[in-house]
Amino acid sequence: MTSPSRTPELSEEALKHLRLGQFLQFMLPIAVGFLLVYAVFAAVLRSVALTGGTGAVLVYTLALARSRRLAARGHTERAALLSGYALLVMVALGALFLHFLFAALVLIALAGVVLVLPYVERPALARYMFVAFGVVVWMVVVAGLLPPLVEQPPLELQRWVSALAVVASVALTLRMMWVDALRLRQSLARAEQAVATRDEFLSVASHELKTPLTPLNLKLQALRRELSAPTPPCPERGLGHIEMAQRQVKKLVELVDDLLDVSRIGAGRLELHPAKVELEVLVREVMERFEPEAARAGYSLELEKAQPLVAWVDEVRFQQVLDNLLSNALKYGEGKPIRVRLESLGKRARLTVRDEGIGIPSAALERIFRRFERAVSGRHYGGLGLGLYICRQIVESSGGTIVASSTPGEGATFTVELPLAQEESAPAVSTLPPADSRHRIS
Please report, as ranges, the residues that interact with ligand ADP according to CB under 6 A: 324, 328-329, 332, 355, 357-360, 368, 374-376, 383-389, 412
Cβ contact 25:56 at 8 Å: no
Q: How far is the CB of 1 from ligand ADP (least distance, A)?
A: 23
Q: Select 118 or 359, whichever has its Cβ closest to ligand ADP.
A: 359
- Phi, psi for residue 427 in degrees, rounded to 5: -75, 155
- Cα–Cα distance between 31 and 65 in angstroms, integer? 11
Q: Look at residue 432 and give its three-state secondary structure.
A: coil
7: DSSP letter: S
Q: Which residue's CB atom is positioned nearest to ligand ADP?
A: 383
Q: How far is the CB of 295 from ligand ADP (least distance, A)?
A: 19
Q: How far is the CB of 317 from ligand ADP (least distance, A)?
A: 15
Q: How far is the CB of 192 from ligand ADP (least distance, A)?
A: 23
Q: How far is the CB of 258 from ligand ADP (least distance, A)?
A: 8
Closest by CA position to 420, among listed 278, 284, 311: 311
Q: What angle do CA 352, 357, 362 make, to 5 degrees?
A: 75
- Cα–Cα distance between 314 and 397 in angstroms, integer? 10
Q: Select 54 or 413, whichever has its Cβ closest to ligand ADP.
A: 413
Mark residue 23 as left, alpha or beta (left: phi above 0; alpha: psi -120 to 50; beta: remaining): alpha
Closest by CA position to 132, among listed 155, 149, 111, 104: 111
Q: Select 133 or 389, whichever has its Cβ closest to ligand ADP.
A: 389
Q: Select 56 or 358, whichever has its Cβ closest to ligand ADP.
A: 358
Q: How far is the CB of 14 from ligand ADP (least distance, A)?
A: 35
Q: Select 28 or 205, whichever has its Cβ closest to ligand ADP.
A: 205
Q: Select 184 or 213, whichever has its Cβ closest to ligand ADP.
A: 213
Spell out the residues 6+ positions from residue 305 whose beta carbon is closer than 8 angstroms to its own: 341, 342, 343
Cβ contact 434:263 at 8 Å: no
Q: Look at residue 283 and give its three-state secondary structure.
A: helix
Q: How far is the CB of 231 from ligand ADP (least distance, A)?
A: 43
- Phi, psi for residue 402 in degrees, rounded to 5: -140, 130
Q: How far is the CB of 242 from ligand ADP (least distance, A)?
A: 26
Closest by CA position to 35, among listed 65, 12, 60: 60
- Cα–Cα distance between 68 and 80 in angstroms, integer? 9
- Cα–Cα distance between 271 and 116 in angstroms, integer? 42
Q: Select 137 or 364, whichever has its Cβ closest to ligand ADP.
A: 364
Q: Select 144 or 357, whichever has its Cβ closest to ligand ADP.
A: 357
